[in-house]
Amino acid sequence: MSGAHAFASVLYGRVFVTLPVPSTTTDLSDQIIIVTGSNTGLGFESTRHLSRLGVGKIIMAVRTLAKGEAAKKEILKTTGKPDSTIEVWPIDMDSHDSVKAFSEQASQLPRLDGVLANAGIMTSEFALSENSEKTLNVNVINTFLLFFLLLPIMRRSERQTGYACRFVIPNSALHYIAPLAELDAPVIFDRLNDPKRAIMSGRYPLSKLLVLYATREIAERTRSSNKGNFIINAPNPSWCKSDLGREMESSGYKMVEKIMARSTEEGSRTLVHGLLTDETSNGHYLSNCHVQVPAKHVTNQWAQKVQKKFFGELLGKLEAIAPEVTSNL
């Protein structure tokens, strides 16, 4: 049933929904927004929208600077904005040290109004990276390492400007079909990092489920905080034509993709919406530019227990990587 719901979600969005082109009445000329993985795919198209909307400075965070500079040049050519409105910074989301270095540089910014943590991977091959399975390291661990490292400037910026920084992590309807048996373990990360037991065919969906758990837990724990507000949400761009699923490419896949998948530009509209939307999105899964209730294994009693258990383990991992990084939560 979960699989059917995931498929129906994609089909409904493709056939019956016309996503709004991003627009805003807010003056963005003083804002600073970071977009990771912005030299290609959804990140590239999201950056192009943000440039068109007049964001004062966009930080294109990319693994390869030359590719980032080429993407910047193409974006500015289409939007006509000044060269000074986009900067290209290096980040490798598969490296704790790279995320730390990037965050240290970002902490010197005068303000921070948005982060689109777009960089992610999908693979069916098991590989350890920094003592964690690679999908988990990129999509979950280092994504939330980036969040916690940027949290002080996010909160400082809100206190100074009155505008709550948005931290946006793309999600997927595939979270409906995540292999839940992998979460039934004394130590969840140990089970997921076991090459003999890892269900890699479902690892990407599972990573998106774990992102939802962490997003919801962060929003819940900080709802009444007086440390400075921020908004964290997880929009689903749905199935889009991109390089993300290149390992799965075949003639059949390409045929279905042509019929079912949104263009990359269309999908990017949902991510930009996540950056521009208001506090009602905080802690939520978004679909078709609206708050949507996620799968039952995100919201039921079983999920609440797993969510807290997983989040506790995640905090422990992040503390081992960067001591006291989670103390600002």
Annotated catalytic sites, by residue?
204, 208
Q: CB–CB of 42/264 below 8 Å?
A: yes
Q: CB–CB of 215/169 below 8 Å?
A: yes
SS (H, E, C) 49-101: HHHHCCCCEEEEEECCHHHHHHHHHHHHHHHCCCHHHEEEEECCCCCHHHHHH
CA-to-CA dists, residue 227 to 143, 156, 157, 214, 298, angstroms: 22, 9, 11, 19, 27
Dist. CA 322–CA 207, nearest whole Å: 21
Q: Count Cβ neighbours within 10 Å for each residue of 5-38 and write b for 16 or more, e otherwise.
A: ebeebbeebeeeeebeebeeeeebeebbbbbbbb
Dist. CA 133–CA 318, nearest whole Å: 15
φ, ψ at 114 (rounded to 5°): -165, 145
| All residues at 6 or more sequence positions from 201 whose CB lies less than 8 Å from its CB, including other chains | 124
Dist. CA 49–CA 45, nearest whole Å: 6
Which run of H or E residues covers position 272? helix 264-276
Amino acid sitting at position 218: I
For residue 60, the tally of other CB atoms under 10 A from its CB is 26
